[in-house]
Amino acid sequence: MKNETYVWISILIIIAVAALSFRYLYQPTLSVELGMNGSAAIAGLYPYQNAALPITIYNSGSGPVKNLSIGVFVNGNLTTLYKITLPSGKQTVIPFNYSPTEQGTYNITATADPSKLYAISNREKATSAIVLTVKAPDNESAYGLLPLANVTLRRDVNLRHGGYLTSTYIGNEYNDSGLSVIDNKKVGGFIGPLLNLTAYYINNMTVSSAKYVNGDSAYAIWIRGYINPDVISFAANASGLRHSSIMTASGNMTFVRVSNDTSLCSWYSGGWLKMLAYVGAKNCSQALSESAASAPSNRVVDSFYGKLMPAGGSVLANYTWISGAVSSSSTLSMLGNSSFVYEGISNNTARDSACYGIVSTTNGTHYCSTYVVPKSNKIGGPYSLIKTTAYIGTYNLTVMSLFNSSFMQTQIPLNINLIREFNISGKSQGFRSGLVNTCSFNQSLLCSNVTFANGTISFRIANNYSSPIRLDSISCFANGASPATELDQVLGAGQAYNATTQCYSKGSVISGIPLNLYLNLKLNYTASANETRVLVGNAHILFG
């Protein structure tokens, strides 16, 4: 058996040697000419723009070329490998495209037979190179497009790859305007679907908006990434909106009439697709003529932004806004693969001490943590959003975290720790609970002081009879039957007792965080003369 194996191995080796010998010793000499042309396509190139670099291969030899490799190198690194078969005297064109992502110089070389497996008569003619010089894009300054007179509120949003989809999803899912990118329905109705479709190809995006004394509003939008500058024209066509193109000093500009009082101007310049949408008495072109001359030097409230401590992971979006003396700055970060943390700081003195959630105190600082109900009002999904707020000194501090619902117990302490990392000192304002749970039986047995946690309800029963009674048992259920908790507690006239029992739904103890939960209470008690009675009551749990 071993001898047979050795024989077959020997045969395979002989075949391989013969094939290689034929390839290198008897392969005919090839004559190939290769050229790369892209000078017209790469003038004024910016990052993410496409450079069309067609590669022309001509077989000038007497025989056919079969399965010849054509390698493309960028700064010495092989990026693409093609295979061609070409008859004698024929040529073909490979439509090679390259989109650099950074400024700088790119040496791009196309080479026939890069591994040198064939005998090629003139390898200099089988190689062609071109140099791409990619210019630096303009610095992010969308705010420079905004008209500056009579501004009542200015807001800047800077988003990185994935930031638009994440902030828009959370903002829409939980109806939180703080995470919105474009808060105007008309502008967002036109731009929003376009951004949803192209978000994957957007690397950087900045949106600056302004509100004006007369009620007008403006939105300056800059986008950098693999986006066709004509995308606004395509979107206007698809939406059936009136639009036109005009040549300006900044290049070809597209004007779109979104509605009677809303227009949008779009053009490509300095490595960005730039837009200005205006809602109000003037159009976007008129608004542009009133901007830029005295543009602000930086984003709003940079001093606040410096106080933020992003919660690890990657930062997806930054938000800053100012209205008069009130300022705010916030950031949205991703933790791991599926958790998101939003941190905000503001000097807004409009504060509500009512907490519709859990009130807690850590090291003298008071916190309010609430479960944010989705706009759909569906509770109990795989993800939950918890918002924690603290008022310290002159600052409003907020952390919201979207996370796997199974980590509910650890999320509030995490939010509190993130607020503590702001390292803000000052007097902490306390909170009062804005949620009052209630219960009732009848006028003779009074129910009050309801709490609910981990499926267990506690409440106070007061005997309003003129004689003693004995509490025998109590049960609690949302639907279906439930086991009773034995009490065996005698209450004199006017006395009270704190009862505790577990609450059930369809035979199982109720779990999770209850919101607006209605419960049935069933009390068995014995009155005078050993008369046993059953009393049905109810409890309303706003928040457990």
Query: What is the overall mean pLDDT for the chain?
Result: 85
CATH topology of 26-134 equal to that of 142-299?
no
**pLDDT for 310:** 56
**pLDDT for 350:** 79
Q: What pLDDT band is residue 87 in, cutting at 50, 70 and 90? A: very high
Domain 26-134: CATH superfamily is Immunoglobulins (2.60.40.10)
185: which 2 tokens? Answer: 């329905």
pLDDT at 542 over 50: yes
User: Strands 469-479 and 496-505, how do they pair?
Assistant: parallel
| Residue recorded with tokens 């700064």 | 75
> Which of 523, 518, 515, 521 minimizes the C-alpha distance to 487?
523
What are the beta bridge partners of residue 387? 370, 400
Per-residue pLDDT of 309-338, as tens digits, reads 555 667 888 888 888 888 888 888 887 656
| Residue recorded with tokens 């004199």 | 492
pLDDT at 366 over 90: yes
| Residue recorded with tokens 């100012």 | 322
Taking domain 438-543, whether its CATH number is 2.60.40 is answered by: yes
C-alpha span between 196 and 190 (Å, rounded): 11
Q: What is the dihedral of CA 42, 46, 47, 51, to 10 degrees?
A: -10
**pLDDT for 296:** 42
Q: What pLDDT band is residue 1 in, cutting at 50, 70 and 90? A: low
Q: How many CB atoms lie within 10 A of CB 379?
A: 15
- Out of 59-63, 301-305, 372-376, pick the least confident: 301-305
> Which of the four CATH numbers 3.90.320, 2.60.120, 3.30.565, 3.90.1690 does domain 142-299 have?
3.30.565
What are the beta bridge partners of residue 343? 331, 399
Q: What pLDDT band is residue 187 in, cutting at 50, 70 and 90? A: very high
Q: What pLDDT band is residue 141 in, cutting at 50, 70 and 90? A: confident
Instruction: Give the start-to-end residue ranges of the domains of the chain.
Output: 26-134, 142-299, 305-433, 438-543
> Between residues 260 and 177, which one has the greater pLDDT?
260
The predicted model scores a pTM of: 0.74
Long-range Cβ contact pairs of 434-439 (< 8 A, separation 24 or more): 434/354, 434/355, 434/356, 435/355, 435/356, 435/357, 435/542, 435/543, 436/542, 437/539, 437/540, 437/541, 437/542, 437/543, 438/539, 438/540, 439/521, 439/537, 439/538, 439/539, 439/540
- Out of 13-17, 86-90, 302-306, 409-413, pick the least confident: 302-306
